[in-house]
Amino acid sequence: MPSPLLQARDTARQFSDRFARSAATARGVHLPTADFPEWLAERGRVNAFRVDRIPLARLDGWSFQETTGNLMHRSGRFFTIEGLHVTERDGPYGDGPYADWHQPVIKQPEVGILGILVKEFDGVLHFLMQAKMEPGNPNLLQLSPTVQATRSNYTKAHRGADVKYIEHFVGPGRGRIVADVLQSEHGSWFYRKSNRNMIVEAVGDVPLLDDFCWLTLGQIAELLHRDNVVNMDSRTVLSCLPVAPTASSALHCDADLLSWITGERARHDVHAERVPLAGLPGWRRHDMAIEHEDGRYFTVVAVAVQAGNREVTSWTQPLFEPVGLGVTAFLTRTFDGIPHVLVHARVEGGFLDTVELGPTVQYTPGNYAHLPDKERPLFLDTVLEVPPDRIRYEAVHSEEGGRFLNAESRYLVVDADEREAPLDPPPGYAWVTPDQLTWLVRHGHYLNVQARTLLACLNATLAGRR
Amino acid sequence: MPSPLLQARDTARQFSDRFARSAATARGVHLPTADFPEWLAERGRVNAFRVDRIPLARLDGWSFQETTGNLMHRSGRFFTIEGLHVTERDGPYGDGPYADWHQPVIKQPEVGILGILVKEFDGVLHFLMQAKMEPGNPNLLQLSPTVQATRSNYTKAHRGADVKYIEHFVGPGRGRIVADVLQSEHGSWFYRKSNRNMIVEAVGDVPLLDDFCWLTLGQIAELLHRDNVVNMDSRTVLSCLPVAPTASSALHCDADLLSWITGERARHDVHAERVPLAGLPGWRRHDMAIEHEDGRYFTVVAVAVQAGNREVTSWTQPLFEPVGLGVTAFLTRTFDGIPHVLVHARVEGGFLDTVELGPTVQYTPGNYAHLPDKERPLFLDTVLEVPPDRIRYEAVHSEEGGRFLNAESRYLVVDADEREAPLDPPPGYAWVTPDQLTWLVRHGHYLNVQARTLLACLNATLAGRR
């Protein structure tokens, strides 16, 4: 670049080569992967942490508002739990089913930062990860991004308070931007929530604080193959890595893929309206939970938390607890040598823009067990019945432990054949390459959070093989 | 491409070469540009069309709802006019102004199609454009895309009704997709309105119907230099053309540009809430209009329309009529040989996602005439006072004539210097290249409709010079 003022527009390639090297490096300079479980366990011992279920009435500082029945904190901060009424009118040409449902939903309008700091040691990029307790995690302690900060956190931080390492992500001294994009969170549980997903390369020295460790991408890939180690916030940030494309072709050119997404958005006529939580049709409030009258979907519960390593050492809060283990999977096929995954254009009531691309399968099977065969979700049985030799990836991961209790899903990537997953799939489904997912995830609201987890897992299955 | 199944992902380059040829072609096979004014005038004579202002009470089929005062059609179709309450809390670090206002807003949730069909004649791509009457256009008749269809239009069309040429855009026989993206419309007047912007290359013969003509991109570029010829719908679709990049560098690399946009979205804490039109603070309803008590911004008025070439030959409808001529401009500077324009991260109450990139200047000067100097909008005076030799582009264009009455703006591209527009601009502004705008406009909700008009105009200034 001969100019002192200008930069090359495309920096992804420079980064992607360096990330490939990190992915191929199974041994980090700071902590061998074999020692990781003991390191994490030690962080758990140092930071005592206890979570107990309590009756909703024992929530401290939280209350159900008189007229709406919405659950909110007296400070007006954190989040509220309200009602949502979703209607989807009939299909594009008047031939689809009419859907209409009510549900509780979490409203948390502020945009937080999920950020991973990276830095080169011995010529290899390492990722600064944090052992972080979240009350909803089944094992409490998981590996989180360097920074997980709400807006109140980091604007306060700007005035001198302490979100550790936040200065690398905002303000004049921040590092070199690798990725920075607003991504949606769970559209079935949150109302239009998005967080800023950031990857930043540090400038200068970075002190290593307690509860943090530097890991290569190869190490993280190995941990992504274990159950409940890499938390959701880490997975979504990792999905935004500029991985180098492996092929220049695909079943659908990019213009056709964008057109398909646009068409899916245009054909779904969805309206989501916030309504009072009180009297929400189909939902009942008991001492210990708000639950659906059929016992399906999820419940709203309360917990009391006692922790050592948090700014506030004890608190109570509501959490959403899904009913049963989810199954979240990409079916995959290779066409003319190029692997593809089958994405599903999903409507979730809380999405900002109607539809995002989700995995082939994203269901809690128990919610559908009562349905007759022909109404069962497409592709679900294929995933449930797949023989082990066709599973390319499998691990149990949990969703955001700050809002969701024991929200575990089995994440899979499963080989399929023409009979199970045809080249010409049903409406609402399309075959895309992982390269195309990486291209889309640079922008917000294309991939839902479950698809982003699977993209991070797909990349992890390739780590070390480059 | 050796594979029978796969396609090259990137088709933009193939198309951009062909569009460059079309842009360099000043003479189309169908209609010489010199004959265009007479052709358009003839279409006006054939299609008699008359628009009269009427009192709001004489709207036929439209009425103000009893409790809300919202203006709606008895069929529930078309659109409604409601109230909007917008609040923007203080800036990112508590140092910004707190904004709070009420306004009428148009709610039209369904997604329409704005589509231009292209086809090669004598080796050059031609665009199928339509002479279309819209009641709000100051000169009634302008050049519109091939298809301007609401969702009800084109879903009805699917059952056999007649949106001309719609079969090229939807359904199994449609053409080859060049661009297909959901783009926002005026965020100051519409509540979360978006339309599908499509460019499609026809497959097979295309009959030429009355009121339609084939023009090269070079011809359209020439018409874009004339006042009130190319309508807003055409301009926004034209902005989505995959123009080939001219440089691989810019002041900010793409990752930094995306990060800046993400940061602007995250730092603005905007809430827009629909409220009843009745009793909207600051707004008053008279016989002939709903207007702001200070006489600023816009009014809601009613018109009666009599037309010859429309499905329905006469109707009445409300329109928004802005107060005064707008000024919409990009300041431009060349850094190390690469032209840049100064974009503004704008908050408009009706945007889906808080902020979109707008022109440097987008104001109706009269709305600010009462303000003291230091509160005047940034860069406005620079544009108003610019000497003619620094104007790179200038024309008056009007906004959507189906919703807006005499909504004219002077669109300009103006050379600036370091004193007027510094290399390091104020917060909320950034220098970007036209290449970067073309890269962003492939995805929805990055560029607002005024910036898209200016992008189409920028491309028009380059046509013929390639």
A residues 188-227 lying closer than 8 A (beta carbon) to B: 196, 198
pLDDT score of B217 more than 60:
yes
Helix runs in A107-198, H state only: 151-158
Of B89-98, B198-207, B344-353, the poorest mean pLDDT is in: B89-98
Q: Is residue B382 part of a domain?
A: yes
Contact B9 A94 (CB under 8 A): no
CB contact under 8 A, A151 and B266: yes
Q: Give B379-383's long-range contacts (Cβ < 8 A, gap of 24+).
A: B379/B329, B379/B331, B379/B342, B379/B420, B379/B421, B380/B327, B382/B331, B382/B414, B382/B416, B382/B420, B382/B421, B383/B327, B383/B329, B383/B331, B383/B412, B383/B414
Q: Which residues of B46-73 are buried (b: 16+ CB within 10 A; e: fewer)?
A: ebebebeebebeebeebebeeebbbbbb
Nearest to A262 among B180, B263, B269 (CB): B180
Q: At what angle do helices B217-224 and B12-23 cross, to 10 degrees?
A: 60
- What range does the domain containing A423 cover? 254-271+323-465
Residue A4: list chain B partners with CB under 8 A: 336
Number of domains observed in the structure of chain A: 1
Kind and range of the H or E element at A125?
strand A124-133
Mutate to test the interface with B, among A118, A177, A274, A354 (most CBs of B within 10 A): A177
> How close is the nearest chain B Cα to the Cα of A176, in Å?
9
Is A363 part of any domain? yes
All residues of chain B having their beta carbon less than 8 Å from the beta carbon of residue A177 are 255-256, 259
> A-contacting residues of B 56-95, CB under 8 Å?
92-94
Which residues of chain B lie closer than 8 angstroms to A158, CB-CB?
92-93
Quick one: average pLDDT of B245-268? 95
- Chain B residue closest to A431 (CA)? B6
Query: Is residue A130 in some structural domain?
Result: no
- pLDDT of res. A463: 79
A1 near B CB under 8 A: yes
Round to whole Å and give the CA distance between B36 and B30: 10
- Among candidates B3, B178, B269 on the partner chain, residue whose Cβ is nearest the Cβ of A336: B3
Structure tokens at B351: 């945007």
Whether B9 and A249 lie within 8 Å, measured CB to CB: yes
- Record the tokens describing residue A465, joined without a space: 């093989």
pLDDT score for A59: 97
CA distances from B367 to B83, B277, B371 (A): 20, 22, 9
Asked if A251 and B151 come within 8 Å (Cβ–Cβ), the reply is: no
Residue bearing tokens 């040691």? A121
The band of A69, judged by pLDDT with boundaries at 50, 70 and 90, is very high
- pLDDT > 90? residue A93: no
Residue with tokens 């009939």: A90
CB contact under 8 A, A338 and B6: yes
Distances (CA, A) of A221 to A8, A392, A462: 30, 14, 9
Facing residue for A258 by CB, picked from B336, B353, B442:
B442
Cα torsion angle, B286, B288, B291, B294, sign: negative
Judged by DSSP in three states, A21 sits in: helix
pTM above 0.80, yes or no: yes
Tell me what pLDDT residue A157 has.
41
Q: Does residue A258 belong to the interface with chain B, where contact is any CB pair within 8 Å?
A: yes
DSSP-derived pairing of the beta strands A62-64 and A71-73: antiparallel
- Whole-angstrom distance, CA of residue B9 vs CA of residue B23: 24
Whether the Cβ atoms of residue A250 and residue A434 lie closer than 8 Å to each other: no
Cβ-based contacts of A191 with chain B (< 8 Å): none
> In which band, very low, low, confident or very high, does the pLDDT at B91 lie, cut at 50, 70 and 90?
low
A residues 267-286 near B, CB within 8 Å?
Answer: 269, 271
Assess if residue A456 is contained within a domain: yes
Which chain B residues touch A94 with a CB distance below 8 Å?
Answer: 155
Contacts of B109 in chain A (CB under 8 A): 269, 271
Cβ–Cβ gap B249/A352 under 8 Å: no
Q: Across residues B127-137, what is the average pLDDT? A: 96
- Confidence tier at B162 by pLDDT (50, 70, 90): confident
B107 touches A at CB < 8 Å: no
A 389-448 near B (Cβ less than 8 A): 423, 435-436, 442-445
Is A28 within 8 Å of A220 (Cβ atoms)? no
Judge whether residue B428 has pLDDT over 60.
yes
State the average pLDDT over residues B75-101: 79
Predicted confidence at residue B99, as pLDDT, reads 84
User: Would B101 be classed as within a structural domain?
Assistant: no
Query: In A, which residues are within 8 Å of B259 by CB distance?
Result: 177, 180, 198
State the pLDDT at residue A91. 56
What is the C-alpha to C-alpha distance for residues A4 and B452, in angstroms, rounded to an integer? 30
Q: Do B180 and A259 touch (CB under 8 A)?
A: yes
Nearest CA distance, B266 vs chain A (angstrom): 6
pLDDT recorded at residue B89:
78
pLDDT value of residue A92? 47
Smallest Cα distance from A440 to chain B, Å: 10
| DSSP 8-state assignment for residue A31 | -
pLDDT classification of B376: cutoffs 50, 70, 90: confident
Residue A244 belongs to some domain of the structure: no
| Band (B397; pLDDT cuts 50, 70, 90) | very high
Of residues A392 and A13, the one with the higher pLDDT is A392
**Which tokens hold the place of A224?**
């992504």
Q: Is the pLDDT of residue B312 over 80?
A: no
Higher pLDDT, A1 or A452: A452
In this structure, the number of other CB atoms found within 10 A of the CB of residue A92 comes to 18
Nearest CA in chain B to A9: B253
Q: Do A255 and B12 touch (CB under 8 A)?
A: yes
Interface check A352 vs B, CB under 8 A = yes
- Out of B11, B269, B338, the one facing A253 most closely (by C-beta) is B11
Q: Is B178 on the interface with A (CB under 8 A)?
A: yes
**Residue in the structure block whose two tokens are 């179709």:** B77
Q: What is the mean pLDDT of chain A?
A: 92
* Closest residue in chain A to residue B198, using alpha carbons only: A259
Mean pLDDT rounded to a whole number for chain B: 92
A6 pLDDT above the threshold of 70? yes
In this complex, is the C-beta atom of B328 within 8 Å of any C-beta atom belonging to chain A? no
Q: Which of A6, A179, A271 sits opposite B249 (nearest CB)?
A: A6
Whether A80 maps to a domain, the answer reads no
- Three-state secondary-structure class, residue A452: helix
Tens digits of residue pLDDT in A117-126? 999 999 999 9
Decide if pLDDT at B186 tops 90: yes
The pLDDT of residue B239 is 98
Question: Is-contact A195 A111, C-beta < 8 A?
Answer: yes
**Spatial distance between the Cα atoms of B446 and A299, rounded to a whole number of angstroms:** 37
| Number of neighbours of residue B142 by Cβ within 10 angstroms | 25
pLDDT digits (tens, 9 = 90+) for A109-144: 889 999 999 999 999 999 999 999 999 999 999 999
Torsion angle defined by CA atoms of residues B152, B158, B162 and B168, in that order, rounded to the nearest 10 degrees: 110
**Single-letter residue type at A322:** P
How large is the average pLDDT for residues A407-413? 98
Give residue A150's pLDDT.
Answer: 83
CB contact under 8 A, A5 and B336: yes
Distance in angstroms (rounded) separating the CA atoms of residues A325 and A398: 10
Q: How large a percentage of chain A has pLDDT more than 70?
A: 94
Contact state of B94 with A155 under an 8 Å Cβ cutoff:
yes
Q: Which residues of B touch A110 (CB under 8 A)?
A: 269
The residues, any chain, with a CB within 8 Å of residue B110's CB and separated by 6 or more, are A269, B150, B151, B152
The Cα A285–Cα A290 span in angstroms is 4
| A148 belongs to a structural domain | no
Question: Which residues in chain B touch residue A258, judged by CB atoms under 8 angstroms apart?
Answer: 180-181, 442-443
Look at residue A1 and tell me whether its pLDDT is greater than 80.
Answer: no
- Total beta-carbon pairs less than 8 A apart between chain A and chain B: 164
Residue B244 near chain A (CB below 8 Å): no
Contact state of B93 with A248 under an 8 Å Cβ cutoff: no
Q: Is B466 a residue whose pLDDT tops 50?
A: no
Partner residue opposite A9 with nearest CB, options B6, B113, B254:
B254
Q: Which residue of B has its CA nearest to A265?
A: B182
Q: Which two tokens stand for residue A27?
A: 């041994």
Q: What is the mean pLDDT of residues B182-189?
A: 96
pLDDT band at A159; cut points 50, 70, 90: very low
Asked whether residue B92 carries a pLDDT value surpassing 60, the answer given is no
Q: How confident is the model at residue B48 (pLDDT cuts 50, 70, 90)?
A: confident
State mean pLDDT over A147-160. 67
Nearest chain A residue to B160 by CA distance is A93
Counting residues of chain B whose pLDDT is more than 70, the rounded percentage is: 94
Average pLDDT over residues B307-335: 88
CATH number of the domain enclosing A334: 3.90.79.40
Q: How far is A21 from chain B (nearest CA, A)?
A: 21
List of chain B residues whose C-beta atoms are within 8 Å of the C-beta of residue A92: 155, 158
A339-389 pLDDT, tens per residue? 999 999 999 999 999 899 999 999 998 888 888 888 889 999 999 999 999
For residue B215, which of B149, B140, B119, B115 has the smallest C-alpha distance? B119
Which of A10, A181, A254 lies closest to B262 in CB terms? Answer: A181
Whether residue A250 and residue B7 make contact (CB cut-off 8 A), yes or no, is yes
Tell if the CB–CB gap between A249 and B3 is shorter than 8 Å: yes
* Residue from the list A253, A259, A335 with its beta carbon closest to the beta carbon of B9: A253
Q: Residues B59-68: what's their mean pLDDT?
A: 96
